[in-house]
Amino acid sequence: MTETRPPIISLNGVSKSFKDGQVQAIEDLSFDVRPGEFVSLVGPSGCGKTTLLRLIDGLVAPDRGTVLVNGRPPDPTYNMAMVFQSSRLLPWRTVAGNIDFVLGLRGHAPKARKSRVQALLGAVGLREFAEAYPHELSGGMQQRVGLARALAVEPEVLLMDEPFAALDAMTRETLRGELLRLWDRRRMAVVFVTHDIDEAIILSQRIIVLRPRPGRIDAVVPVDLPEPRWQTDPRGLPAYADLRRALWDRIHAMGREGVALEELTGAFGDEP
């Protein structure tokens, strides 16, 4: 049913290099994301995950190939939002002020903004910190504000760059649940970058494994686990273990092909 709709994100033969071609970040990469689909990108550090998100967001242009979002080249007025790898909050604005800022950018009426800001801060558990400045928050709390800010604009496409990497296990677990619940209700397309295989499996419908130098697709792994996953934890299912092993095998193969092993272990933790 969803397959018949045109993809909301479509990358075709995309290449991107930096420093006048000295660093080939991404080479000849193609994939589609369907509307409302939750896709994870996994891969070792430096394989171009952040660059891919920036390409989709229209912050950088590809050297070759095309990036289409909603059928058009990405354009900042389209309702897309990014959760950055570091929180990128405006240090001179309060937590509430930071969320208000992007609501203003997206043209929300000033009157409607206030209650919306409150609701979002409640959702990420930071209601009491509305008037605090970012430097008064812990790194994990700042990251949660970054998440609230992206969700505030109710994006059609949500790009997330390792949003939970800096959080403690407990908060991470809670926020994963929150994200899934929200996604279940709003059904925006999500492109979620992570280093964590388990996180990728729990959250996504499809996992794209990338390999580094230059960034290319190594494997595309569909996740056929029952949904909604915020109600039942899939980690006990036999299918989960199989999937995890399959993913690990892909990554292990990458190691045999000459990707430095420390990079992989750094990226994926211990072998199961």
Partner 1 sequence: MADQLKLDTDAPAAAGKTRRRRNAGSPRGSAGYERRRSRRIATTWQVCILLALIAGMKILNTTSGNLVMPSPEAVFWQSVEMWADGTIPRALGESLTVLGLGFILASTSGIMIGILLGGFPFLGRVLDPYVNAVNATPGAAFIPLIIVWFGLYAEAKIALVWLAAVFPVLINTTAGISNANKDLIEMAQSFGASRWTLFWQVMVPDALPSILSGLRIGAAICIVGTVIAELTMAQSGLGGLMIKAGNRFQMDRYFAVVIVMMALGSLITIGLRLAERRLGRWRVAMQDGG
- Which entry of partner 1, ligand ATP, Mg ion, none binds 46, CB below 5 to 8 A by partner kind? ligand ATP
* Cα–Cα distance for residue pair 161/164, rounded to 1 Å: 9
| 45 is a contact residue toward ligand ATP (CB under 6 A) | yes
- Which entry of Mg ion, ligand ATP, partner 1, none binds 48, CB below 5 to 8 A by partner kind? ligand ATP
Q: How far is the CB of 256 from Mg ion (least distance, A)?
A: 25
Burial (0-12, 13-18, 19+ Cβ within 10 Å), 16: buried
| 30 is a contact residue toward ligand ATP (CB under 6 A) | no
Q: How far is the CB of 123 from Mg ion (least distance, A)?
A: 25
- 36 closest CA partner among 71, 12, 8, 10: 8
Strands 189-194 and 38-42: parallel
Interacting stretch for ligand ATP, rule CB under 6 A, among 43-51, 73-81, 100-108, 174-182?
A: 43-51
| 216 is a contact residue toward ligand ATP (CB under 6 A) | no
- Which entry of partner 1, ligand ATP, Mg ion, none binds 19, CB below 5 to 8 A by partner kind? ligand ATP
Interacting stretch for ligand ATP, rule CB under 6 A, among 15-23, 65-73, 97-105, 115-123?
A: 15-23
Cβ–Cβ < 8 Å for 40, 210: no
Question: Which residue matches tokens 């949003």?
Answer: 163
Q: In Å, how far from its chain's centre is CA 75?
A: 18
Burial (0-12, 13-18, 19+ Cβ within 10 Å), 183: buried
Q: How far is the CB of 6 from partner 1 (least distance, A)?
A: 23
Q: Give me the residues that bind Mg ion (CB under 5 A), please.
A: 50
Q: Give me the residues that bind ligand ATP (CB under 6 A), please.
A: 18-19, 23, 25, 45-51, 85
